[in-house]
Amino acid sequence: MTVGFIGLGIMGKPMSKNLIKAGYKLVVFDKFAKFDDIVALGAEGASSNKEVAAKSDIVITMLPNSPHVKEAILGAGGVIEGCKSGQIVVDMSSIAPAASQEVGEALKAKGVAFLDAPVSGGEPKAIEGTLAIMVGGDAKTFETAKPVLEKMGASVVLVGDIGAGNVAKLANQIVVALNIAAVSEAFVLATKAGVDPAKVFDAIKGGLAGSTVMNAKVPMILDGNFKPGFRVELHQKDLQNALDTGHSLNSPLPLTANVMKTIQALVADGMAANDHSAIVRFYEKLAHVEVRK
């Protein structure tokens, strides 16, 4: 089986490497990022999204947001122009559920199956091949694509129809953002009170307050390491998609709206490219302390 991979950024590059390690033949393309290192590992470089589709059995896209996905798949020289009936396209980007449904309908008209399969876990789990993958689409298509997805993720779950994968991802991103904000408030409070935040972390991480988010982000905060595993600007994009979706469904998201204001302040302060653990810096600035070892 030949897999096409479009989008070779922070997440897409290690994901594609794991597919090569698993023995898949890969055809790759990225309009903006260099991919010479992927070709050096044995992948075939393509010159367009259309060419990737024409040479592949399954096409995977991993792109920043809805407009990029729609352009890559439905635009001029896009995947849809190179696809053939019976082919599968899997979008692993985190985009608006409505955009996934739009892309799925356009591909269906050409006899091409579609899955939306966004991921959670950031760069570290993309490198490890242990991402959590949330999938929307029909069961038959899912079962065909699942062996490929399992080479990139430790958890691959069919959530529902097309768009359901991205609904699950929006739910995930809400929980993660609110968790980081809660951690930030708590550890700034501890620091302001003169208590060692590292010891607070050791004291509470094994209790009910403990979480995967806390375990991943507090060590980064304590080290002052905001190198992106998942950039602030990307979380801003995800929360905007969540707020737009909530608005369309009349589903209230007041806590999400509040965290969004924090993230917008970070972007305005020039921290868009920082890891989203930099949410703590908003609280540090207000309290005039730094949560560090």
The secondary structure of 175-231 as a DSSP string is HHHHHHHHHHHHHHHHHHTT--HHHHHHHHTTSTT--HHHHHHHHHHHHT----SSB
d(CA 97, CA 170): 9
**Residue closest to 245 by CA, chosen among 97, 69, 99, 65:** 97
Q: Which helix (H) or strand (E) holds 159?
A: strand 153-160
Give Cβ neighbours of residue 116 (< 8 Å, ≥ 6 apart).
91, 95, 97, 100, 104, 135, 136, 137, 162, 163, 164, 165, 166
Residue 237 known to be catalytic: no
d(CA 167, CA 58): 23
Task: Considering only CA atoms, give the Rg of the chain.
Answer: 20
Residue of 13, 17, 50, 169 with catalytic role: 169
Contact 85, 111 (CB under 8 A): yes
The secondary structure of 89-153 as a DSSP string is EEE-S---HHHHHHHHHHHHTTT-EEEE--EESHHHHHHHT-EEEEEES-HHHHHHHHHHHTTTE
Which positions are annotated as active-site residues?
169
